[in-house]
């Protein structure tokens, strides 16, 4: 980047070319909100002064382990204080944070370790066996494991690896943070769900994350000192950037390891939760909670929901319980949510049925995004905004990824025509509000997780009794969608549904395992292509 000089001949770089980074929020909060509660987890209560010091100690410890700027530090952690601390402590060394989905199988975790070249991995005690199995599948040595014990959840340290708290205790509380010299520097590496084969590594920069924190605070109309419950896993788009945002407002991060209706109600009633994000499955859990799990509270809780369009019936049921729900939409490649179904006062007069149908829309661009619209992917022309024509959702702005790690071909294709191609199909209303109608590439969204049918089909086709198979989404009251496998057996082969499901479960993550298997001849075109649209119709009737 060249530095322009004005007529005085002075280089203004030091004054007004300070790279944008969410790390700045915590440095400011450590002074401004020093004694205010920053992180809560059970009996753990830390103020911003303590939070900043622990993040500083983590940065110091990682540097002592040899982690250098630009290298990767991975985590396999639930929503614990250590995971929040890693969001600041890892980049404070100049390193790149790689939060790994705890629900993945060892083979995929091993691939992510190897592809991302992680130097160190912070691993919760519960997931030590997963990390060990993943490293055992790698060609090289794998990352250095630092164990994060959680005695509150019944997971004391195994003593097989250096322990997180011991490591922090011996680190330097005055370590000088390594701030980015350019806001385009990499901040995080997040892997997609691998809907078509191996997951892709999405590289995010400091500028995008900083703008996400600013834009989200505006869209959510957040006041100072919000109390945010971590339902969205911090391995999902870095928790939609909300942990980076909280210090901006002097907010409190309330950690939640196991997401249940009781835990959510308890956190609202006991901790005064004001905001959380979650997939529609979370909303369903709240609506359908047992009476014994419910708690009374007097304030309104603001909720962002994403992962799949929430059913209007769910919105109708949850709002009278004290929740104000807004649908948002985004992808790993866009740092999380980038559209919101912004409510218009004119809609207050509509019937309940009309209002909740509107609330289920995908919405309009949030303020930190330049442009989001539906376009013809071939011609890159605007789709008519007539609530009928379908196009692919296209996105431009500073909250779009740098690209896919070590995959220039996929990056070029994703950015073809000057927009990021989402792969999601939507119609657009005359007021520009988008509404998703389908998902490209047969993605199944189950409980907020993206599942690729191709991966499941590849596993099932290795079964000796299966001739052909196809996997589609089956509607599910709890999860939104679940994988449903249609299987055509080889002549003379005999196998039942339970055996097929068990076979898949032994080779796939649990959430990717088909929940229903149907044995039938598969419908095909004249050229032999399986007609999945017919199977989707069948699955809806099951």
pLDDT tens digit string along 226-279? Answer: 999 999 999 999 999 999 999 999 999 999 999 999 999 999 999 999 999 998
| Residue 424, pLDDT score | 87
| Residue 437, pLDDT score | 74
Q: Could you give the C-alpha distances from 538 to 485, 504, 533, 542, in angstroms and in order?
A: 11, 22, 9, 7
- Distance, in Å, from the CA atom of 459 to the CA atom of 292, rounded to the nearest integer, reads 41
Residue 477, judged by CB atoms within 10 A of its CB (0-12, 13-18, 19+), counts as exposed
CB 228 within 8 A of CB 240: no
| pLDDT (tens digit per residue) in 351-381 | 988 898 898 889 999 999 999 999 999 999 9
| Residue 526, pLDDT score | 41
pLDDT above 70 coverage of the chain, percent = 94
Positions of the chain with pLDDT under 50: 1-5, 195, 525-528
| Residue 261, pLDDT score | 95
| Residue 461, pLDDT score | 83
| Residue 528, pLDDT score | 47
**Model's pTM, two decimal places?**
0.84
Q: Could you give the C-alpha distances from 122 to 175, 181, 352, 496, in angstroms and in order?
A: 20, 26, 47, 41
Cβ neighbors of 449 (< 8 A, separation 6 or more) are 103, 193, 307, 511
Phi-psi map region of 194: left, alpha, beta (phi>0 left; psi -120 to 50 alpha): left
């Amino acid at each position: 980047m060249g530095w322009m000089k004005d007529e005085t001949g002075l280089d203004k770089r030091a004054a007004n070319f300070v790279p944008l980074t969410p790390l700045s929020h915590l440095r400011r909060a450590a002074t401004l909100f020093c004694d205010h509660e920053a992180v809560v987890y059970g009996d753990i209560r830390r103020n911003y002064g303590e939070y900043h010091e622990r993040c500083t100690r983590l940065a110091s410890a990682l540097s002592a382990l040899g982690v250098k700027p630009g290298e990767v530090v991975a985590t396999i952690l639930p929503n614990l204080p250590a995971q929040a601390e890693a969001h600041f402590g890892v980049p404070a060394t100049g390193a790149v944070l790689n939060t790994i989905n705890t629900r993945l199988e060892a083979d995929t975790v091993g691939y992510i370790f190897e592809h991302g070249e992680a130097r160190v991995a912070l691993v919760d005690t519960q997931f030590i066996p997963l990390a060990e199995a993943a490293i055992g599948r790698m060609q090289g040595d794998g990352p250095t494991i630092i164990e994060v014990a959680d005695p509150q959840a019944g997971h004391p340290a195994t003593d097989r690896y250096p322990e997180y708290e011991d490591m922090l205790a011996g680190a330097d509380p005055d370590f000088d943070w390594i701030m980015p010299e350019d806001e385009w520097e990499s901040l995080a590496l997040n892997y997609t769900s691998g809907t078509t084969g191996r997951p892709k590594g999405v590289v995010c920069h400091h500028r995008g994350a900083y703008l996400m924190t600013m834009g989200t605070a505006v869209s959510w109309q957040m006041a100072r000192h919000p109390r945010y419950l971590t339902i969205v896993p911090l391995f999902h788009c870095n928790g939609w950037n909300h942990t980076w945002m909280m210090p901006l407002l002097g907010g409190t991060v309330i950690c939640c390891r196991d997401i249940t209706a009781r835990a959510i109600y308890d956190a609202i009633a006991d901790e005064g939760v004001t905001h959380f994000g979650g997939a529609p499955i979370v909303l369903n859990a709240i609506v359908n909670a047992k009476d014994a799990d419910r708690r009374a509270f007097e304030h309104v809780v603001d909720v962002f929901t994403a992962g799949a369009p929430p059913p209007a019936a769910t919105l109708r049921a949850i709002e009278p319980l004290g929740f104000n729900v807004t649908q948002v939409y985004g992808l790993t490649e866009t740092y999380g949510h980038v559209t919101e179904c912004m409510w218009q006062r004119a809609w207050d007069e509509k019937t309940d049925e009309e209002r909740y149908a509107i609330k289920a829309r995908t919405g309009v661009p949030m303020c930190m995004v330049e442009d989001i619209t539906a376009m013809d992917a071939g011609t890159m022309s605007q789709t008519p905004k007539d609530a009928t024509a379908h196009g692919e959702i296209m996105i431009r702005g500073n909250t779009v990824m740098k690209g896919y790690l070590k995959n220039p071909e996929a990056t070029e294709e994703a950015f073809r025509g000057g927009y990021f191609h989402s792969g999601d199909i939507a119609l657009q209303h005359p007021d520009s509000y988008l509404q998703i109608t389908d998902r490209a590439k047969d993605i199944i969204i189950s409980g907020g997780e993206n599942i690729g049918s191709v991966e499941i089909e590849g596993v099932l086709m290795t079964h000796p009794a299966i001739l052909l198979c196809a996997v589609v989404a089956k509607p599910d009251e709890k999860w939104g969608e679940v994988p449903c496998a249609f299987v055509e057996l080889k002549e003379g082969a005999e196998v039942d549904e339970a055996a097929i499901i068990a076979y898949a479960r032994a080779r796939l993550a649990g959430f990717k395992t088909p929940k229903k298997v149907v044995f039938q001849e598969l419908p095909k075109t004249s050229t032999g292509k399986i007609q999945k649209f017919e199977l989707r119709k069948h699955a809806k009737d099951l």
